[in-house]
Every structure is written in structure tokens, then in C-alpha cells.
Homo-oligomer: A and B are copies of this chain.
């Protein structure tokens, strides 16, 4: 998430949006079985321009516009995968994945397990825009990763940087596990360094800042918030360690455990609804370990348990923010 101009050699600065587009292009070039499907992703480049230029480059057979039929689209991707294709489906808002939820979690996620090895892997990737911040209300702003991560058979990825957007997407396309790939709307224009060609595997959290006083855990947009809050906290003399989960399923809590053993304090920040969410799972996993005495109870910062209001002012009130993270961290230090 750094916008520093002192780039590590061999890396290039890229917008998150462009990193995704380029990763798609690279995988399509590498493997003729990769193809894209989604509403208006062809000549129109997608609602958020995430497939810009790909239609011209790869043509209508591999960059395929679909009608407003999410169930049929994801189902068709399953059929294609059965024949050896690697379909990448774009759904412009992750909220809309609930219209084809059965197809994702009962079909895509389960069929190979049910049929056994007679069925090839079903390497479908479903890319969807996640998160709030645009003032577009309750049906276009949700963070639904926990719904997918609760169900077996899917990887669920939530990149916060361009490198993860590119690397994890490439990994997902090559993986034999179906993947839900959630791209945060408010990160699309962020620039950060990418190592061209790099492929990243799911299931590894990333320590984005070291510290000794408390551990802040985020993912997607809240990974950015956590890092920004750590800067504020440093100014207050609090050394926060920050972890970007990156992958919600599989979920790497070892990295979190190591950190909390050091800091003795854990705050998980999520933009999603709090109950049964990522924070709950992280904390339950840590609670099951013998972590000894913690300096403060492990806790979660999330949105109020209600839908997302459309009004920009209300949305800002509703969402986690740097200052809310900082405030809560300060409270935890005082506890």
C-alpha cells in the first residue's frame, strides 16, 4: 500500500485495478484454457474497467459478455471447467453473488468432492467487487467473505495491495480449487509495487509492520486502515504490529498467533458484519491455543450490525476508519 517512489529493483508501480487486468492478461497468454465471463466485460471493459483492453486482445470467445443471469453464468463456468477450461467470472458487486449462491457453494464448491477423482478439478475463479465507500447503499456495498469462507470447497481471497491482487489472482487461476476473489472498490486506484510474473499462494498472512504493543489484523481495505492507524499510534508512542490476512480461506492464524504471543493484544478489524465473521474465527482459533496471559481481551472492530446506509455521511459513520481503529487501540492499551 506504500506509494513510495523508492521501488525495490525488479518491481513496477501499478494501480490495483491495472494489476488485476494485467494478471488476467498474463494468465490468458500463458494458458489458452483461461477465459473470462461477465456482464459488460467485453467491448465495455467492465463496469469498473477491470478488463480494459482484453476484449481487443483476446476476442469475444475468451472475453465473453453474459446476460443478466448470474446463476447461468456461474453454472456455465462449472460446465466449462469440467471440460478443462479455467473460467474467470466477473460479478460487478459481490452482493449480487447471493443471487447465485447455491451455484457457488452447493455446486461449484462441492461437486468435485461429491463425485471424486472421476471429476476433474473445477478451477473457476469468481472475481467480485467488495466493500463500501461509494455511497451506493445496502445492495452494492457489502463485505461477504465470511459467507463463502464458512462453506467448504472454496478459497476466499481478499487482496489489499497490487502485488497481492496480481499474485493471488494468478495463483487462483492456476489453482485446482475454486476461488472467490474479492476486489475492494476503494483500493482500485491505489498504486503499489508489483513483481512482474509473481504468483502467490493462498493461506499466508503478511506481516506489514512490526511492533510490540498490540496486533492489528485487517484484510482488503481494513489492512490499509490498520497500517494507517499504526502510523497514528506510533505518534502516540504505541508500536502496533499489523497483519494483512490476504486469504480468508484458507486462513493463516499462525502468523497472528506468533504476533499476539509477542504483543499480548489483538484487534481484528473488519468491514463486514461482526457476528460469525473473520474476527470471530481468528479469535476462536487463537482462543483454542494456550496463549497464556494476554494483556487485554482479544477483540473485534466491525460495522454496526445493520445494512449499509446509502447516504455518504451515514456511510462514513457506519464504516471503520483510521481514527476508529486508533481510538480502539488506545483503549486496549489502557485496559
Contact = CB atoms under 8 A, between A and B. Distances in A.
Interface of A: 95-96, 98-99, 101-102, 105-106, 109-110, 113-114, 137-139, 146-147, 149-153, 249, 251, 272-273, 275-281, 283-284, 286-291, 293, 297-300, 305-307
A158 B314 CA distance: 34
Contacts of A251: 275
A111 to B, nearest CB: 9
Nearest to A276: B150
A138 B150 contact: no
A151 B291 CA distance: 31
A283 B283 CA distance: 8
A266 to B, nearest CB: 9
Contacts of A299: 287-288
Contacts of A137: 114
A251 B289 CA distance: 24
A298 B287 CA distance: 6
16 contacts: A98-B102, A106-B138, A150-B150, A152-B273, A152-B305, A152-B306, A152-B307, A153-B307, A276-B280, A280-B284, A284-B298, A286-B287, A287-B297, A287-B298, A288-B298, A293-B293
A293 B289 CA distance: 14
A307 B101 contact: no
A306 B106 contact: no
A273 B146 contact: no
Contacts of A249: 275
A114 B310 CA distance: 9
B307 A297 contact: no
A289 B297 contact: yes
A287 B298 CA distance: 6
Given A113-B306, A280-B281, 15 more contacts: A98-B106, A99-B102, A110-B139, A110-B307, A150-B273, A150-B277, A152-B306, A152-B307, A153-B307, A276-B278, A276-B281, A280-B284, A283-B283, A283-B287, A288-B299
Contacts of A305: 152
Contacts of A289: 297
Q: Which of A99, A150, A276 has the most CB of B within 10 A?
A: A276
A198 to B, nearest CB: 28
Contacts of A114: 137-138, 307
A284 B306 contact: no
